[in-house]
């Protein structure tokens, strides 16, 4: 019976390079039961050879322990435990995904493990080649790739384990962050709802107040003003509240986090930036630097609101004051940049003189 199985099954004998397309999605190729007869029929595969069969066949054949695959020419020994239902309809895809999962578990280095991006890319290329060999290479290629994989696994056991743990941790973290984000979002939504309600109530209240005042025959303008004022107060109050709550939530969640954005470390506070000339400091940008000509702009709204940076101006002025101070055009244009031989001799003589003195001391 099974000898009459389609050619696909025969080819599958030498492994899984050519898989049986499930041409008969509704019929088990082993027992020829069709879905027509059994509506709850379930097809299972074993990642050893990816031959699919119905669950009753699996129970029948493998309940008593390991047995050979019933497909003609397939001599794999299968176990009951290995069977599962396929996620993908196309079994070749199912198989590729399995292989990729396995390779990824072994080759789990992260980009940080490499010195340059180029190295990392080369590594990815190597892994991809290997995967390709495993998935759709010939027999020899597959065997070689398998050997490489195992060798790598054996040699780098510790590394792999470490990376796996790190990956798990990262997953955990991101999950936690997502949860926190969701929480915060929910919080915000609730808050917004509450606020809307508050607003509504407020409006009703003010309206009632207005009507009351009208009923008492007072001037409407006064009531209007009262209402406006109240509304303004409410808004301001809310703003304060919101600021507080965001501060709290910021403290809770850490910071508003955008996925994929690396968290940067805060730059150390700039304090008296210095610009060095060779070995010694030419000038220092200390905070007291200012100029009367600049002072009047510090209270000028167009300059302040425009975001004009007075520190930048100071830095530039200081830079220009000292840039090129040590450039001697006459010498450099005729002789070249740097110290002339005579000067070097002079300097070294000076150094030697100091050195002598120091020895005397």
Partner 1 sequence: MATEDARYRQSSQYQLWSFSPTQLAAMREQTNTAARTRIAERLASLPAPSSNLSAPTSTANTPDPDGASTPALPEFLTAPEEALLVTHYTSELMRAGDHAEMSDEIKATAAAFFRRFYVTNSIMTYPPTEMLIVSLFFACKAEGSFVSISEFGKTFGRDHPEDILAGEFLLCQGLRFAIDVKHPFRALRGAIMELSTLPDIEPSRIAAAEHRAREILRFSPLITDAYFHYTPSQIMFAALSLADRSLAERLITQTFHYVAPPPNNSGVDTPISSGPDGAIPLPKKLPLRSNPAEDKSQIIGSHLRDRVLGAIEACRDMLARELPERRDHWTNKAVVKAQINPLRKKLKQCRDPERWNLVELQRARREQAARKADSEDGEPADRAGNGHSNSLAGDAAVFGEALPPKRRKVVEGRKGLDDPFGGPL
Q: Positive or negative, the Cα torsion across 129, 134, 135, 137? A: positive
Cβ nearer to partner 1, comparing 40 with 320: 320
Applying the rule CB under 8 A, the residues between 90 and 109 that interact with partner 1 are none
Interaction between residue 260 and partner 1 (CB under 8 A): no
User: Do residues 63 and 80 make contact, with C-beta atoms less than 8 angstroms apart?
Assistant: yes
Interaction between residue 286 and partner 1 (CB under 8 A): yes
Interaction between residue 86 and partner 1 (CB under 8 A): no
Beta carbon of residue 297, minimum distance to partner 1 (angstroms, whole number): 13
Q: Give me 180's structure tokens.
A: 């926190």
Interaction between residue 36 and partner 1 (CB under 8 A): no
**3-state secondary structure at position 315:** helix
User: What is the three-state SS of 107-152?
Assistant: CCCCHHHCCCHHHHHHHHHHHHHHHHHHHHCCHHHHHHHHHHHHHH
Interaction between residue 276 and partner 1 (CB under 8 A): yes
* Distance, CA of 344 to CA of 65 (rounded, Å): 91
What are φ and ψ of residue 37, in 5° steps? -85, -30
Interaction between residue 359 and partner 1 (CB under 8 A): no
Question: Which of 278, 295, 300, 336 lies at the binding interface for partner 1 (CB under 8 A)?
Answer: 278
Beta carbon of residue 293, minimum distance to partner 1 (angstroms, whole number): 7
Interaction between residue 361 and partner 1 (CB under 8 A): yes
Q: Give me 244's structure tokens.
A: 């507080």
Judged on CB neighbours under 10 Å (0-12, 13-18, 19+), 199 is middle
* Distance, CA of 98 to CA of 112 (rounded, Å): 26
Beta carbon of residue 342, minimum distance to partner 1 (angstroms, whole number): 8
Interaction between residue 351 and partner 1 (CB under 8 A): yes
Beta carbon of residue 298, minimum distance to partner 1 (angstroms, whole number): 14
Interaction between residue 327 and partner 1 (CB under 8 A): yes
Interaction between residue 281 and partner 1 (CB under 8 A): yes
Beta carbon of residue 305, minimum distance to partner 1 (angstroms, whole number): 21
User: Do residues 16 and 99 make contact, with C-beta atoms less than 8 angstroms apart?
Assistant: no
Count of residues interacting with partner 1 (CB under 8 A):
50
* Residues in touch with partner 1 (CB under 8 A): 275-283, 286, 288-294, 314, 316-331, 333-334, 337-338, 343, 346-347, 349-351, 353-355, 357-358, 361
């Amino acid at each position: 019976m099974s000898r009459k199985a389609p050619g696909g099954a025969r080819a599958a004998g030498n492994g899984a390079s050519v898989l049986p397309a499930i041409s008969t999605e509704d019929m088990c190729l082993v027992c020829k039961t069709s879905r027509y007869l059994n509506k709850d029929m379930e097809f299972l595969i074993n990642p050893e050879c990816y031959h699919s069969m119905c669950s009753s066949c699996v129970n029948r054949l493998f309940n008593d322990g390991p047995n050979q695959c019933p497909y003609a020419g397939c001599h794999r020994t299968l176990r009951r435990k290995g069977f599962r239902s396929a996620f993908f309809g196309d079994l070749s895809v199912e198989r590729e995904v399995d292989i990729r999962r396995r390779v990824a578990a072994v080759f789990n280095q992260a980009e940080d493990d490499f010195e340059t991006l180029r190295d990392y890319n080369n590594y990815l290329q190597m892994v991809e080649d290997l995967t390709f060999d495993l998935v759709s290479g010939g027999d020899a290629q597959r065997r070689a790739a398998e050997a490489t994989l195992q060798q790598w696994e054996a040699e780098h056991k510790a590394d792999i384990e470490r990376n796996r743990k790190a990956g798990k941790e990262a997953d955990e973290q991101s999950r936690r962050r997502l949860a926190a984000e969701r929480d915060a979002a929910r919080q915000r939504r609730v808050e917004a709802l509450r606020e809307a309600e508050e607003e509504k109530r407020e409006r009703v209240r003010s309206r009632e107040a207005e009507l009351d005042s009208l009923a008492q025959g007072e001037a409407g303008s006064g009531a209007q003003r009262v209402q406006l004022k109240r509304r303004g107060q409410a808004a301001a109050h809310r703003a304060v509240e919101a600021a507080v709550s965001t501060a709290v939530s910021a403290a809770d969640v850490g910071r508003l986090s955008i996925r994929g954005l690396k968290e940067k470390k805060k730059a150390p506070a700039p304090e008296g930036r210095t610009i060095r000339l060779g070995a010694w400091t030419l000038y220092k940008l200390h905070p007291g630097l200012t100029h009367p000509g600049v002072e009047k702009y510090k209270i000028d709204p167009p300059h302040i609101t425009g975001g004009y940076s007075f520190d930048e101006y100071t830095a530039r002025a200081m830079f220009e004051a000292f840039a090129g101070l040590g450039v001697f055009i006459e010498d450099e244009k005729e002789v070249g940049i740097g110290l002339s031989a005579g000067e070097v001799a002079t300097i070294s003589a000076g150094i030697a003189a100091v050195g002598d003195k120091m020895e005397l001391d």
